Amino acid sequence: METEIILHRGYKGKYLENSLSSFENAIREGMSFETDIRVSKDKKCFMIHDDNIDRLFNGQGKVGNITSRELRKFHYKEDEGQRLCSFEELCQLAKEFNYDSLIFIHIKELKDIEKVVEVLRKYGLQKNIRFFAVDEIEEDFRKIMRMRYPEYKMGLYLPENSKNYNKEFFMKSDFVWADEITFPWITKEKVLLAHSLGKPFYAISPELIPESIFNRNIQGRWRGLVEAGVDGICTDKPIELSKFLKNY
pLDDT for 2-52, tens place per residue?
A: 999 999 999 998 999 999 999 999 999 999 999 999 999 999 999 999 999
CA atoms within 13 A on the CB side of 11: 17
pLDDT for 88-131, tens place per residue?
A: 999 999 999 999 999 999 999 999 999 999 999 999 999 999 99
Q: Is 68 helix (H, G, I), strand (E, B) or coil?
A: helix
CATH number at residue 25: 3.20.20.190
Confidence bin at 248 (pLDDT 50/70/90)? confident
Provide the 8-state DSSP code for 164.
Answer: T
Q: Is 24 helix (H, G, I), strand (E, B) or coil?
A: helix
Distance, CA of 195 to CA of 33 (rounded, Å): 21
pLDDT in the model for residue 201: 98
Query: Is a pLDDT exceeding 80 seen at residue 200?
Result: yes
Which residue range is the domain that position 144 belongs to?
A: 4-247
Identify the bridge partners of residue 202 per DSSP, sorted by sequence position. 177, 232
pLDDT for 59-70, tens place per residue?
A: 999 999 999 999
How many domains are there within the chain? 1
| pTM for the structure as a whole | 0.97
Query: Is a pLDDT exceeding 80 seen at residue 1?
Result: no
